[in-house]
């Protein structure tokens, strides 16, 4: 279903399905910008227009996703998100559904738009209580609409609101969230407090703007499929971030006249004793990404001589690597590098043309101010670097204690790293954030928990290094690689029907286009 439609829908345009393919990136707006946009939009319209459009859109969408729902419980909060719910309830009631509203907020203190929707719902005869519980024991055919909190959510739900969130979490049928899953921070994709409950929706209709929190951190677990309705405002404000979506035109394809020298040489430095596999995974991934030649120097003793599974890889010992000119190369540094990788870093940071730094290389830099200043200096000289930290590595690079600090605002952490080290940064995890200095960051929307498997990060680093020299700048290489990496995992889940771990070697095959 690309655009939703329903037979008995009230008049409004259908929300768009938010997908990671086939269109330009989607603009994302945080809570503050969304409010500003709402204010601007209200100025040009008669009072209450936006809420009427929002409620009509939600009702229409509800009828499309749950046409056979018998009962519909609409849990409404104390603000305008609740107003959207009341407005939707009125339409669903008129469409002949058995609707029950639980209004959790003082009806005399609703904001004006929500108060207007309450009057309209009352006038239409919608049953409204102040109960946080659904009226009857719900069945799996019933639909619940979460209109408790939207962009005004400011703290973890408590009391009656928390009770309603629990009912929504245990709802046996479909759950549709209005604007945001209640309890989710619109900007960060986290609960307001570690222990704070968040609704888990099957669908979320994001209104007026798309919020970044729907797509990163734990947002994806709570939002389900996201749909977007701009409420016919067509507003174009500069975004907080982009949701990366790949359109076909980004990939130029290979010209007949090209040869292996056109596609760049990659050198992988990693694979210390006991971790050779990490360097091999990165090397293999660089090969299937299309690098012209891939050299591998494993840091264990003795260095690895050949990979019989991938004889295309060219192994180089310490003396050979020392003699190579690193300036035209794309270096991947890290990938099971242990502590020995540190010795390679001063030269890599000073002389590598393009540099992808992962895992142990990042840990070494985080622990060494001299390496940090080399990395910063590299950025100031305009030399291109991509850092691919997971949240704990990012925390170390930022000098903070815990990964949780990074996770509490992934967009901010990625931006801080990019600005500090003048590098492109891929902050990995659900909804990987790709940031570059002085640039609006993007969130990657492909991938799933099947990637939570040892070695998939090495594959990402190698794949990125393989893509990069093929006529792309660092930022686009990072975005495309992260997108393809996640999309391969999505194909795997689609063909296996579950999110069991995706072995890193299999991931490389999927990236290469072997059958899912």
Ligand X SMILES: NC(=O)C1=CN([C@@H]2O[C@H](COP(=O)(O)OP(=O)(O)OC[C@H]3O[C@@H](n4cnc5c(N)ncnc54)[C@H](O)[C@@H]3O)[C@@H](O)[C@H]2O)[C@@H](O)CC1
Ligand Y SMILES: Nc1ncnc2c1ncn2[C@@H]1O[C@H](COP(=O)(O)OP(=O)(O)O)[C@@H](O)[C@H]1O
Going by the annotation, the residues of the binding site are 80-84, 146, 150-156, 179, 182, 278, 336, 390, 428-432, 457-458
Residues making up the binding site for K(+): 81, 146, 182
Tokens of 354: 């393009």
Q: Tell which residue, 242, 266, 301, has the closest CA to residue 463.
A: 266
Conformation bin of residue 174: beta by default, left when phi > 0, alpha when psi is -120 to 50: beta
Q: Nearest Cα to 384, choosing from 358, 357, 414?
A: 357
The answer to whether 169 touches 141, Cβ cutoff 8 Å, is no
Q: C-beta of 448: minimal distance to ligand Y in Å?
A: 5
Residue 84: contacted member of K ion, ligand Y, ligand X, none (CB under 5 to 8 Å, by partner type)? ligand X
Q: Please say which residue, 29 or 483, places its beta carbon nearer to ligand X.
A: 29
Looking at the Cβ atoms of 142 and 179, the one nearer to ligand X is: 179
Query: Please, what is the minimum distance in Å from the beta carbon of residue 449 to ligand Y?
Result: 4
Closest to ligand Y by CB, 33 or 359: 359
Q: Which of residues 214 and 397 has its CB atom nearest to ligand X in the complex?
A: 214
Which residue's CB is nearer to ligand X, number 7 or number 46?
Answer: 46
Look up tokens 């060494």; give the residue.
368
Nearer to K ion, 201 or 486 (CB): 201
Pick the closer one to ligand Y by CB: 400 or 449: 449
Beta carbons of 114 and 79 less than 8 angstroms apart: yes
429 binds, among ligand Y, ligand X, K ion, none (CB under 5 to 8 A by kind): ligand Y
Q: In terms of CB distance, is 76 or 272 closer to ligand X?
A: 76
Binding site partner of 409, from ligand X, K ion, ligand Y, none, Cβ cut-off 5-8 A by kind: none
Q: How far apart are CA 227 and CA 17, in angstroms?
A: 5
Minimum Å gap between C-beta 73 and ligand X is 18
Minimum CB distance to ligand X, residue 233 (Å) = 9
Q: How many CB atoms lie within 10 A of CB 127?
A: 14
**Binding site partner of 464, from K ion, ligand X, ligand Y, none, Cβ cut-off 5-8 A by kind:** none
| Partner interacting with residue 455 (select from ligand X, K ion, ligand Y, none; CB below 5-8 Å by kind) | ligand Y
Measured CA to CA, the distance from residue 302 to residue 48 in angstroms comes to 73
Q: How far apart are CA 361 and CA 14, in angstroms?
A: 48
Closest approach of ligand X to the CB of residue 163, in Å: 11
Helices (H), 80-180: 80-94, 112-124, 159-169
Using CB under 6 A, list all residues that contact ligand X.
38, 50-51, 54, 77-82, 84, 111, 113, 149-158, 161, 178-179, 207-208
| Binding at 182: pick from ligand Y, K ion, ligand X, none (beta carbon under 5-8 Å per type) | K ion
Residue carrying the six token digits 């946080």: 132
CB of 445 to ligand X, least distance (A): 21
What does 111 interact with, of ligand X, K ion, ligand Y, none (CB < 5 to 8 A by kind)?
A: ligand X
Residue 350 binds which entry of ligand Y, K ion, ligand X, none, CB below 5-8 Å type-dependent? none
Residue 367 to residue 369: CA distance in whole angstroms: 7
Vertex 40, ends 34 and 44: CA angle to 5°?
140
Give the pair of three-digit tokens for residue 99. Answer: 């609707």
Which residue, among 306, 269, 308, has the nearest Cα to 286 in the 3D structure?
Answer: 269
Binding-site residue ranges for (6S)-NADPHX: 80-84, 150-156, 179, 278, 336, 390, 458
Which of the choices ligand X, K ion, ligand Y, none does residue 51 contact, using the CB cut-off of 5 to 8 A by kind? Answer: ligand X
Query: 238's torsion region: left (phi>0), alpha (psi -120 to 50) or beta?
Result: beta
CB of 372 to ligand Y, least distance (A): 20
| DSSP H or E run through 314 | strand 314-315
Residues near K ion, by CB under 5 A:
146, 177-178, 182
Shortest CB 257 distance to ligand Y, Å: 34
CA end-to-end span of the chain, whole Å? 23
The residue (of 110 and 355) whose beta carbon lies closer to ligand X is 110
Annotated binding residues for AMP: 428-432, 457
Which tokens in the block code for residue 161? Answer: 């609101």
Which residue, chain included where needed, has tokens 């080290």?
421
Return the HEC string of 353-370: CEEEEEHHHHHHHHCCHH
We find the least distance from the C-beta atom of residue 355 to ligand Y, in angstroms, to be 17
- Of all residues in the shown chain, the one whose CB is closest to K ion is 182
Binding site for ligand Y (CB under 6 A): 359, 390, 428-430, 432, 447-449, 451-452, 454-458, 460, 485
For 1, 461, 495, the CA distances from 490, given in Å and listed in that order, are 18, 19, 9
* Structural Rg of the chain based on CA atoms: 25
Helices (H), 233-293: 276-288
């Amino acid at each position: 279903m690309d655009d939703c439609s329903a037979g008995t829908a009230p008049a409004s345009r259908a929300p768009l399905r938010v997908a990671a393919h086939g269109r330009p990136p989607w603009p994302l707006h945080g809570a503050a910008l969304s409010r500003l946009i709402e204010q601007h939009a209200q100025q040009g319209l008669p009072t209450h227009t936006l809420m009427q459009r929002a409620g009509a859109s939600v009702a229409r969408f509800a009828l499309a996703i749950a046409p056979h729902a018998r009962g519909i419980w609409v849990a409404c909060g104390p603000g305008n998100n609740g107003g959207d719910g009341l407005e939707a309830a009125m339409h669903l009631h008129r469409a002949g559904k058995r609707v029950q509203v639980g209004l959790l907020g003082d009806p005399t203190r609703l904001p004006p738009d929500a108060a207007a929707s309450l009057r309209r719902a009352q006038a239409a005869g919608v049953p409204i209580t102040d109960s946080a519980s659904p009226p009857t024991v719900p069945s799996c055919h019933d639909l619940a609409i979460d209109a408790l909190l939207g962009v005004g959510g400011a703290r973890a739900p408590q009391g009656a609101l928390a009770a309603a969130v629990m009912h929504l979490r245990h709802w046996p049928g479909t759950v549709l969230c209005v604007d945001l899953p209640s309890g989710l921070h619109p900007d960060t994709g986290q609960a307001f407090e570690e222990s704070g409950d968040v609704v888990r929706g099957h669908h979320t209709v994001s209104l007026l703007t798309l919020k970044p929190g729907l797509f990163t951190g734990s947002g994806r677990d709570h939002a389900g499929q996201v749909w977007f309705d701009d409420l016919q405002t067509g507003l174009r404000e500069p975004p907080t971030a982009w949701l990366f979506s790949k359109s076909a035109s980004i990939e130029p394809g290979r010209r007949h006249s090209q040869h292996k020298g056109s596609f760049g040489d990659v050198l992988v430095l990693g694979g210390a004793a006991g971790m050779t596999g990490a360097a091999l995974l990165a090397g293999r991934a660089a090969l299937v990404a299309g690098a012209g030649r891939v050299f591998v120097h494993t840091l264990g003793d003795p260095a690895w001589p050949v990979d019989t599974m991938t004889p295309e890889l060219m192994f180089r010992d310490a003396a050979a690597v020392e003699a190579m000119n690193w300036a035209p190369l794309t270096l991947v540094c890290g990938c099971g590098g242990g502590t020995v990788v540190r010795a390679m870093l001063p030269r890599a940071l000073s002389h590598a043309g393009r540099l992808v730094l992962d895992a142990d290389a990042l840990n070494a830099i985080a622990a060494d101010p001299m390496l940090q200043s080399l990395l910063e200096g590299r950025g100031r000289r305009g030399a291109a670097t991509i850092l691919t930290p997971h949240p704990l590595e990012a925390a170390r690079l930022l000098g903070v204690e815990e990964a949780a600090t990074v996770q509490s605002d992934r967009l901010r952490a990625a931006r801080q790293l990019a600005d500090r080290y003048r590098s492109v940064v891929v902050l990995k995890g659900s909804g990987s954030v790709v940031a570059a200095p002085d640039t609006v960051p993007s969130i990657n929307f492909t991938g799933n928990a099947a990637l939570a498997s040892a070695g998939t990060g090495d594959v990402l680093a190698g794949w990125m290094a393989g893509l990069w020299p093929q006529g792309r700048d660092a930022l686009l290489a990072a975005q495309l690689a992260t997108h393809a990496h996640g999309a391969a995992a999505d194909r795997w889940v689609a063909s296996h029907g579950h999110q069991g771990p995706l072995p890193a070697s299999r991931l490389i095959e999927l990236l290469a286009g072997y059958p899912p």
